[in-house]
């Protein structure tokens, strides 16, 4: 039971970090133009990716632009990505 709670905590923590970074980036930046802006965008997407992927796949699923299998695959990738981010946050917080 402890392992399940820890896994859910890591998933929630990673998704929270992803959402905060994604929304902060949307507030600060416009569409990237130029090489430096594009590199910065991809760097931010390393952290914001799960939130953005989940949002885009949900929008496509609601518009009937993708199948249930494609939606499930995208959500599972976003969940795994968020879990890894949560695990990295836990490791960083333990080392401090």
Domain locations in the chain as residue ranges: 2-95
Region label for 67, one of left (φ > 0), alpha (ψ between -120 and 50) or beta (otherwise)? beta
pLDDT reported for residue 29? 86
What would the two tokens of residue 72 be? 């499930």
- Which structure tokens are listed for 17? 């970090």
pLDDT class of 31 with cuts at 50, 70, 90:
confident
pTM over cut 0.85: yes
- Residue 58 structure tokens: 């949900």
Q: How many CB atoms lie within 10 A of CB 89?
A: 15
User: How high is the mean pLDDT of the chain?
Assistant: 94
Query: pLDDT class for 96, splitting at 50, 70, 90?
Result: confident
How many Å apart are CA 82 and CA 49, to the nearest integer?
Answer: 8
* pLDDT score at 61: 96
Predicted confidence band of residue 30 (pLDDT cuts 50, 70, 90): confident
Which pLDDT tens digit goes with each residue over 49-90?
999 999 999 999 999 999 999 999 999 999 999 999 999 999
Determine the distance from the C-alpha atom of residue 76 to the mean position of all C-alpha atoms in its chain, rounded to a whole number: 11
């Amino acid at each position: 039971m402890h392992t399940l709670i820890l896994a859910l905590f890591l998933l929630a923590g990673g998704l929270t970090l992803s959402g905060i970074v994604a929304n902060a980036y949307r507030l600060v930046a416009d569409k990237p133009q130029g090489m430096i802006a594009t590199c910065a965008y991809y760097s931010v997407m390393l952290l914001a990716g799960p939130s953005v992927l989940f949002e885009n796949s949900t929008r496509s699923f609601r518009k009937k632009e993708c199948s249930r299998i494609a939606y499930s695959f995208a959500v599972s990738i976003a969940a795994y990505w968020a879990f890894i981010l949560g695990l990295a946050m836990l490791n960083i917080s333990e080392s401090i």
